[in-house]
Amino acid sequence: MTWVYAFQDAQDLGRELLGGKGYALAEMVRLGFPVPPGFTLTTGACRAYLERGAFPEGLWDEVREQVTQLEEATGKRFGGSEGLPLLVSVRSGAPVSMPGMMDTILNLGLTLEGVRALAEETGNPRFAWDSYRRLVQMYGEVVLGLAPEGFKRLLERAKVLAGAERDVDLTATDLQGLVDDYLQYIKDQGQNFPNDPWLQLEGAVRAVFDSWNNPRARTYRRLYGIPDDLGTAVNVQAMVFGNLGDDSGTGVGFTRNPATGERGLYGEYLKNAQGEDVVAGIRTPQPLERLRESDPELYREVADVAERLEAHFREMQDFEFTVERGRLYLLQTRTGKRTPAAAVRIAVEMAEEGVISREEALLRVDANALPGLLRARIDPDRASEPVAEGLPASPGAAVGHAVLDAETAESWAGRGLPVVLVRPETTPEDISGMYIARGILTARGGMTSHAAVVARGMGVPAVVGVAALSLNLEERSFRLGDRNFKEGDLISLDGATGKVFAGEVALSEGESGAYLQRLLEWAEPHRKLGARANADTPADARRARELGAEGIGLVRTEHMFFDPERMPWVRALILAETEREEREALDRLFAFQRADFMGLLEAMDGLAVTVRLLDPPLHEFLPPLVELERKEAAGELAPGEVKVLAQVRRLHEANPMLGFRGVRLLLVRPEILRMQTAALLSATRALQEQGKDPLPELMIPLVSTPEEVEQTLAVVREVFAEFDLSLPVGTMIETPRAALLAREIAPLVDFFSFGTNDLTQLTYGISRDDAGHFLPHYLDARTFAHDPTERLDEAAVGRLLEIAVREGRAANPNLKLGLCGEHGGEAHSVRLAHGLGLDYVSASPFRVLTARLAAAQAALHS
């Protein structure tokens, strides 16, 4: 087993073994770029180290051999005390780019004796002591695990004593004194900085291997779906120095603008500096464009490097370079991170330039990122530090006055004030406030909680599950971390990152743009899976259609009842004591529903609209039990509320998700089923008479048995007969039992629509609204590889879908199959739906873009 490869000997070994950085260095050496010599310890060495808790046998023999070759190549000696000593950098390099997540050490191999030799040989004592103080600080932080603040305090004190404004203003004598302070600080912490270069190298390699499992790296892998078992390579490279004077420097370049995607050299350069000065923001670098005037020859050289790198790798590159006494060296290159808007533009333009095919362009864009293009975003260049973070439930940015309930939201918004609704969690009672709010912030809930699902459907930015958020509703105040706020204070939130800010931050507007439209046009010939939208209002339907939705896969009729004008009539129906009272309430609700259905069908004229019958339990339309009981205890119940309290108690359920809802409610209260069916038929008939082409479908929620379907159909067909009109009727498959009985249910209906939100909850035995208490821990510990409420679980939920698809179609070859959970707008889930052979997925309007592109990507992969 070979553990270590020199850059020039590592060609064609691949990223999995060499890591991204090692692979790119080997490629650049092969292509003749000016790369300082070095070698790579493979990811296999890292995995072996992590498994055994010790370096694998033979590793250090190979390392010593490679160091000897470096000494021969450079004419320098590692740890030497005469002439120029060989110094190296030690950098991590995982197979998948994880910038900033793992550790780096520079100037390694420098000893006290070597500092003096370096000073004498270069004639620059300041450079020598600056290099040594950087090594001591980085080694102390990375290898010895000491807090950076201790070193920063000593550096600030040294600048004060010297009267220096910047680090570069410290003299050699100042820096020598600072090194003494650093070494004493390390001793005071019970540690020692090794003067032996081999101990330095061993400690650095150990630290980089260990950094694969540091908290930030684990979190990054979890967020971006990177496997834990890849390991990281370690790249040991001869140092070149950008801090030798004004003819030296360090820079970072991009072959295209990572924010906009515009073609052309983009980046920054800092004279007389080492790489971490740019990264740490110690000094302000200059745009690379300035080099065009100050050093046109260097600019042309960097621009030529950029062009050659992109031509070879056929992808936008992010490269780091150092200039040592006028000579350019490349330290690394990698595929550059970019904004979603830039990703789309780069993919499209590279295809149009003939660099890649259109199919490659489609595969290069993250489909999950597309909804973010349509919403306002926080401008990261002008944003302050966030005061808290939660789950990024609904993309987009919002700025507004914090309000603590829906009523206040409506009142303040009615006065023209932008508001952000801040709640412990949201319920259907909050719907009016949610609709009017610029953003939604909750302390509890997950990615498919009520707040998250409704916010995405509305296109309202939302951050949910903010553990640092606590509310005091009596005092009309709340706390975010260590900051106190009162109702009315301005706050800002970023639903794409989950970050929450105090005060108002600058926003930049998002739009789909011509590049996205072109990309989606290229996707259409490949896509086999249909893309519908979950929409409850004509406005949502029109927006979804503009974004390419081919119909509505889910109309949640209960959302139509939460309008303040309608809620009293829903409650009147629930509380009706006579047939006359019930009839009056049903007639009013019929009129509302008919008007709603006409608006939706007209907006989607010629496209299917799947209307789900009433699903939630009735108690959700009544005031909360705890509120009424508090008023009762205080003797504050109004006369009319006594009857309401009695009914609320009668309908109260310990676990309403598994209670009196869905088809159970419709069969026990068939008058609701009749009213909704009649309203849909009446709306359909009216539009047909206007010469339009409405295509409604009726969907039965939460079935578990074929008998439930049969009994519901019996009522529905009676209404069909009354109107002399029939519609396709299907059922949601959202209980495991329904999936397993698909063979018996399928012959009764025209379509299945998989309600994967509830199917996931019932399969896992979790509540999406309460999972926030344990899901973060589960995800950090990799108990769950992914959040199953966000990304469809293939092993179990996917297995249920596969059974239902196979057995349902076997029993009814004409059965249409769709998916209408929030998973329908998540790329991995869409690919699973494609693989199962579904006819369509349905998602929130903005996520239709994701569904369209992900469906094409799935077809290209299959």
Tell me the sheet residues that pair with 269: 251, 286
Tell me the sheet residues that pair with 408: none
Exactly one of 46, 401, 450, 619 is catalytic; which is it? 450
Residue 456 near residue 394, CB atoms below 8 Å = yes
Amino acid identity of residue 457, one-letter, is G
Burial of 284 (0-12, 13-18, 19+ CB in 10 A): exposed
Write the CB contacts of 769 (distance below 8 Å, at least 6 apart in sequence): 425, 444, 445, 446, 449, 450
Please, where are the H alpha helices in 75-123?
A: 112-122
Where b means 16+ CB within 10 Å and e means fewer, 529-546 reads: bbbbbbbbbbebbbbbbe
Helix, strand, coil percentages in the chain from 3-state DSSP, rounded to 5: 50, 20, 30
φ, ψ (nearest 5 deg) of residue 317: -110, 145
Going by C-alpha positions, the residue among 496, 477, 463, 273 that lies closest to residue 376 is: 496
Please, where are the H alpha helices in 105-147?
A: 112-122, 125-142
Amino acid identity of residue 685, one-letter, is R
Going by C-alpha positions, the residue among 274, 266, 315, 314 that lies closest to residue 291 is: 266
What are the Cα distances from residue 816, in Å, to 545, 583, 694, 808, 831?
Answer: 21, 36, 18, 10, 18
Count the neighbouring beta carbons within 10 Å of the beta carbon of residue 385.
Answer: 7
Burial of 660 (0-12, 13-18, 19+ CB in 10 A): middle
Which helix (H) or strand (E) segment is 90 a member of?
strand 88-93
Helix 513-523 / helix 848-861 crossing angle, nearest 10 deg: 40
Going by C-alpha positions, the residue among 462, 397, 391 that lies closest to residue 787 is: 391
Q: Give the separation between CA 698 and CA 719, rounded to whole angstroms.
A: 12
Residue 352 near residue 360, CB atoms below 8 Å = no
Exactly one of 820, 823, 828, 834 is catalytic; which is it? 820
Say how many Å lie between the first and final Cα of the chain, rounded.
36
Q: Give the separation between CA 47 and CA 55, rounded to whole angstroms.
A: 10
450 belongs to the catalytic site: yes
Q: Give the separation between CA 770 and CA 629, rounded to whole angstroms.
A: 24
Dihedral sign of CA atoms 212, 216, 219, 220 in order: negative
Q: Give the separation between CA 303 and CA 297, rounded to whole angstroms.
A: 10
Checking 335-338 for CB contacts under 8 A at 24+ apart, the result is 335/20, 335/97, 336/254, 336/255, 336/256, 336/258, 337/97, 337/99, 337/258, 338/256, 338/258, 338/259, 338/261
Q: How far is CA 662 from the centre of its chain?
A: 32
Q: Give the separation between CA 820 and CA 804, rounded to whole angstroms.
A: 15
- The pair of structure tokens assigned to 525 is 């010939």
46 belongs to the catalytic site: no
Kindly state the DSSP code that residue 242 receives in the 8-state scheme: S
Going by C-alpha positions, the residue among 168, 95, 165 that lies closest to residue 134 is: 168
Q: Give the separation between CA 822 and CA 841, rounded to whole angstroms.
A: 9
Q: Among all residues, which ones are annotated catalytic?
A: 450, 820
